[in-house]
Chain A
């Protein structure tokens, strides 16, 4: 630590972005000379260093306020920002530190996966890491857009990595929808620049407060919010996610589900509070839209997760569901809500990352990802089964660990503001996604559930990943992530929410007493998960009447849902237009 302490705060902010970029260039330059595991080692170390630097920034920011850095020394003149700056508060730095750790785990998990590609996988991943860190740190709207695009381009290339039929179709859907998101964001940036004449968050904040009822500002917000909600896979923008996450290599899916999707929400939360909170009109519309769409997303993602047999696709839908729960933390417009969002983001990233690693272990050791095809084939890799069941329980809301602390804060905030429907949606989302994962774990590792329900009709595909990797090397990062989630101490996390979140939100009057969630709610969702998974697994033994009742309830609307996830890019873009129109309409009415 003494070496780290010697780094002055003045030069610290750009390092977590610059170091991965420099190592990218180095690996590319030496790609022909780096043999064996050298790219793996370099990439893992870089991610760890970036994460450690972010932790250092976080502790410094907690002591002496946000670290500000102006590139090229272009400090603001007369209160007018000319240059581009990073402003790093403790909460943003902790999120970036978590992302660095997740990358390190993903690199270890992918050890030896991509040996014959001259380190190109590591280059793309490090670029992805640098973009995410920059996205967290920046205080300039256009700079945010640039990181958003770098993140997207790296993600597109990583999705299409396998260059096979379905991977390419999934990547094309992902690329087109997220490129449209980028264009909308840029359009929004253009509009707000027309009013504010600056791109610096502080300048924008003043301009928004001065033009609170200006339709141009509202339109700018609408476009930027839709762009970030496409990234965050809110209904009705969620379609690309299941296609892309299901076909990406599993170490990449770890990052997609664990960090990329939730970063969209992180960006939205930051912009909402720092830039757009000066306009009552926008805040009112935003609160309604986020609570409504978030509740819908949480339930729909859960229902769809339960109807999948392709494990990665199932986990992708569960990510959609949990992203829906997270956005409620923005919509509730309180410090506890935003704090809950940030804690939930980290907890969910750890658990979902571990679950995608279990899927990767099955792909590598059992050469399949199909829940029904894998029934009973989990013998011999029981630790993976335990990890999967534990992950399922944590998703379902088992009241222990970081994810539960996030749920607790979020449910407390929702309860405090009287959003009953949203509160029920969080329980349903947790219960349904937990049930899907538990059902998969029991079917694969215990061989239960010989009669399949509706999930048998879901799309699936034979797929496998590079096999001759040691099991312990794949299990270690998976268990590490779960252990990290479980070991997070409750006291310090709550202190962090109390002290760091007001800085993150630029809030003048911090809340000292955080609301507490209802203690029995998590148990309700866990019980629900067990009940649904149990019902699905015991189809062979249940009386016919009960099964008929179950399928009768599921038949109509759920088939329509399946049909909506058509995999057709034209349909997805139509849904994006519908969503854009909905949000614009709500803003116009406000």
Chain B
């Protein structure tokens, strides 16, 4: 195992996280944004698997290996499984919200959907108060 090979997964994880963030920052469509969030999350999968990986060892299933055979770390694999469940929940929830946004506002562009911008303050005022003084 060379140092380059051992550092590579960590670089990949950092890169994935960075491009995911870039995608979220520049996104003009919520479906695309949810995809970018998924890319960010993939970074955590790569990181965790890299942390637990052992060279020249088997999967942590001892059905056809004698106990004590070198195996990769099963703990991080359990973490990744949990992470995948979390990711599925989040993606489902976000997509539901995106569908509802599309239904109600007819657009998926975050720039047009800023919260509480639809009704400007002047309308809500209903003439109860004099104009603000400059």
Contact = CB atoms under 8 A, between A and B. Distances in A.
Q: How large is the interface on B (under 10, 10 to 19, 20 to 34, 35 or more residues)?
A: 35 or more
B125 interface: yes
A175 B37 CA distance: 10
Interface residues of A, number: 65
A459 B121 contact: yes
Contacts of A310: 116
A163 B41 contact: no
Given A190-B47, A457-B132, A573-B24, A173 B17 contact: no
A460 B79 contact: no
B117 A190 contact: no
B30 to A, nearest CB: 7
Contacts of A165: 101, 104-105, 113, 118
B40 interface: yes
A186 interface: yes
B26 A570 contact: yes
Contact of A569 (B24, B51, B126): B24
Interface stretch (A317-325, A446-454, A493-501, A523-531): A446-454
B72 interface: no
Contacts of A163: 100, 104
A199 B75 contact: yes
Interface string B96-125: 011011001100001101111111110011
A243 B94 CA distance: 16
Interface in A176-201: 176, 179-180, 182-183, 186-187, 189-191, 193-194, 199
Nearest to A146: B82
Interface in A347-381: 370, 372-373, 375
Contacts of B13: 187
Given A373-B125, A451-B129, A180 B79 contact: no
B104 A179 contact: no
Contacts of A331: none
Contacts of B98: 172
A246 interface: yes
Interface string A425-465: 00000000000000000000000001111101111111000
A342 interface: no
B27 A570 contact: yes
Contact of B124 (A160, A450, A460): A460
A567 interface: yes
B93 interface: yes
Nearest to B127: A373
A224 to B, nearest CB: 13
B124 A452 contact: no
A254 interface: no
A457 B129 CA distance: 12
A168 B100 contact: yes
Determine the main DSSP class of A at the interface with B: helix
B105 to A, nearest CB: 5
A334 B100 CA distance: 48
Contacts of A193: 51, 75-76
A551 interface: yes
A573 B116 contact: no
Contact of B116 (A372, A452, A461, A539): A461
A570 B24 contact: yes
Contacts of A574: 25
Interface stretch (A28-36, A37-45, A149-157, A398-406): A149-157
B58 interface: no
Contacts of B89: 153
B114 A172 contact: no
Contacts of A569: 24, 27, 33, 110
B114 A568 contact: yes
Contacts of B7: none
Contacts of A142: 79, 82
A187 B43 contact: yes
**Most chain A Cβ neighbours within 10 Å, of B33, B90, B134:** B90
Given A183-B44, A573-B24, A373 B128 contact: yes
A168 B104 contact: yes
B115 A164 contact: no
Contacts of A547: 133
Contact of A175 (B41, B90, B134): B90
A461 B124 contact: yes
B93 A156 contact: yes
**Most chain B Cβ neighbours within 10 Å, of A163, A169, A551:** A169
Nearest to A451: B130
A453 B70 CA distance: 71
Nearest to A142: B79
A171 interface: yes
Contacts of A454: 132
Contacts of B17: 183, 187
Contacts of A125: none
A456 B125 contact: yes
A343 B25 CA distance: 38
A313 B25 CA distance: 24
27 contacts: A149-B86, A163-B100, A164-B104, A165-B118, A168-B101, A172-B94, A172-B110, A175-B97, A179-B41, A183-B43, A186-B79, A189-B79, A199-B75, A246-B116, A373-B128, A451-B132, A452-B132, A454-B132, A456-B125, A458-B121, A459-B115, A547-B133, A551-B133, A567-B117, A568-B114, A570-B26, A573-B24
Given A165-B113, A451-B133, 12 more contacts: A146-B82, A149-B86, A156-B93, A165-B104, A165-B118, A172-B94, A172-B113, A176-B33, A313-B116, A457-B121, A459-B121, A568-B114
Interface of A: 142, 146, 149, 153, 156-157, 160, 163-166, 168-173, 175-176, 179-180, 182-183, 186-187, 189-191, 193-194, 199, 243, 246-247, 309-310, 313, 370, 372-373, 375, 450-454, 456-462, 539-540, 547, 551, 566-570, 573-574, 577
